Amino acid sequence: MTSLKAITFDLDDTLWDNSGVMARTETGHYGWLLEKLPAWLAERRWPSWELSVEAGLEDYLKRRQRLATDVPERRGDFTWLRLRALEAQLEAQGLPRSAAALWAAAAMNEFHRLRVQVTPHPEAADLLAALGRRYRLAAITNGNIHLKRHPLSGYFPVAIAAGELLTPKPDPKAFLTALARLDVAPQNAMHVGDSWEEDIVPANQLGMHAVWISEARSTALPEGVHQIAHIKELPGVLARLNAPY
Ligand SMILES: [Mg+2]
């Protein structure tokens, strides 16, 4: 019998497929900005906006990449990178600093509104509800989804945004913070995630059980690491560990 007391979950591409929502959020919040801004500039008789959506998005991405290199401790804090990149782009287009800050914040508000519109795997809510009756649950994400506004947030009494803590996974600090807040030793906890480097390697090194969600063909997995293709197979891993579900 395994004395499993807590389960921590990665979010993106573990509890939902993230690719569609990221693409929609990226073009959606930037398109919103370029739709709203021209009238505001015209009202003030300020020079009109020159960048197209395509050129603007490309410049926005380059600014984020440059910032992540120049301020490496912020490389995983995607909300900060976006906010600063947008402010700089707006200023470069001639907006005064205060107006640039205002519009960058408004665009990021739109970003977060779109970013939480994820569609969890249909089995996820029932699975988390059942697990929550037996285990302490936490979410540990490198992404910048709003931790209180996403559709499964209610199942996680502990939720850690590792990038905003400036210690993105695979840094063990986010795991240790979650374990401390759950009051559980690593050997009594399990982490579930889709990234070998960011989820499985650090959890395994800490001595946690680890469940890798991947369709990759793997032969020899390290001790304590299990592989499933989909979150719905997690009860099978618990059964193999003799852990209740
Ligand atoms: Mg993930």
Distance (Å) from CA 140 to ligand 1 centroid: 9
Decide if 7 contacts 190 (C-beta within 8 A).
yes
- How far is residue 170's CA from residue 16's CA, in Å, rounded to a whole number? 20
Q: In the predicted model, is pLDDT for residue 2 greater than 80?
A: no
Pair (123, 222) in one structural domain: yes
Pair (57, 166) in one structural domain: no
**Mean pLDDT computed over 35-42:** 96
Residue 1 lies in a domain: no
| Spatial CA neighbour of 144 closest among 178, 113, 180 | 113
pLDDT digits (tens, 9 = 90+) for 190-231: 999 999 999 999 999 999 999 999 998 887 899 999 999 999
Domain boundary pick from 81, 115, 149: 115
Pair (168, 217) in one structural domain: yes
Pair (93, 131) in one structural domain: no
Pair (109, 158) in one structural domain: no
Decide if 186 contacts 179 (C-beta within 8 A).
yes
Domain boundary pick from 115, 132, 149: 115
Q: Is the peptide bond before 122 cis (omega within 30 degrees of 0)?
A: no
What pLDDT, on the 0 to 100 scale, is given for residue 217? 85
Q: In the predicted model, is pLDDT for residue 154 greater than 80?
A: yes
Q: In the predicted model, is pLDDT for residue 180 greater than 60?
A: yes
- How far is residue 61's CA from residue 72's CA, in Å, rounded to a whole number? 16
- How far is residue 137's CA from residue 233's CA, in Å, rounded to a whole number? 17
What pLDDT, on the 0 to 100 scale, is given for residue 219? 79
Distance (Å) from CA 213 to ligand 1 centroid: 9
Identify the band that residue 44 occupies on the pLDDT scale cut at 50, 70 and 90: very high
Q: What is the number of structural domains in the chain?
A: 2
- How far is residue 138's CA from residue 8's CA, in Å, rounded to a whole number? 5
Q: In the predicted model, is pLDDT for residue 1 greater than 80?
A: no
Residue 62 lies in a domain: yes
Strands (DSSP E) contained in the chain are 6-9, 136-141, 158-161, 189-193, 209-213, 225-228
Distance (Å) from CA 47 to ligand 1 centroid: 42
Distance (Å) from CA 195 to ligand 1 centroid: 6
The domain that contains 228 carries what CATH number?
3.40.50.1000
Residue ranges near ligand 1 (ion) with Cβ within 5 Å: 10, 12-13, 194
Pair (138, 71) in one structural domain: no
> In sequence order, which residues have a C-beta less than 8 Å from that of residue 80 and are 6 or more positions away?
74, 164
Distance (Å) from CA 161 to ligand 1 centroid: 12
Pair (102, 165) in one structural domain: no
Pair (125, 13) in one structural domain: yes
Decide if 11 contacts 145 (C-beta within 8 A).
yes
Residue 38 lies in a domain: yes
Q: In the predicted model, is pLDDT for residue 67 greater than 90?
A: yes
Domain boundary pick from 115, 134, 152: 115
Decide if 160 contacts 174 (C-beta within 8 A).
yes
The domain that contains 83 carries what CATH number?
1.20.120
Residue 125 belongs to what domain range?
Answer: 6-17+119-240
pLDDT digits (tens, 9 = 90+) for 120-132: 999 999 999 999 9
Q: In the predicted model, is pLDDT for residue 176 greater than 90?
A: yes
